[in-house]
Amino acid sequence: SFHKRCYTCAHCKKSINGGRYSEHEGELYDNNCYQRLFGPKGVGYGIGSGALSTGT
């Protein structure tokens, strides 16, 4: 079980108390990390507007 005062992002380890977060496979992520790790990839997604992620 989670304690509300103990929420930290599974990726960056920063506190997400009072912030927006998402869950993936039982782990909590702040929304920025979640979108970067699990969100859509490509032009305009994840790494800044107009950038292209080639995956290499």
pLDDT tens digits along 1-17: 555 557 899 999 999 87
Indicate if the pLDDT at residue 20 is higher than 70.
Answer: yes
CB pairs under 8 A, 24+ apart, for 26-33?
A: 28/2, 33/9
State the distance between the two ends of the chain, measured CA to CA, in whole angstroms: 37
Q: What is the pLDDT of residues 31-55, one digit of tens each?
A: 999 999 998 876 655 454 444 445 5
Pick the CATH number of 4-38 from 3.40.640.10, 2.10.110.10, 3.20.20.140, 3.40.1000.10: 2.10.110.10
Element (H, E) at 38: helix 31-38
Per-residue pLDDT, 28: 93
Residue 29 identity (one-letter amino acid): Y
**Predicted pLDDT at 51:** 47
- For residue 34, give both structure tokens: 């979640």
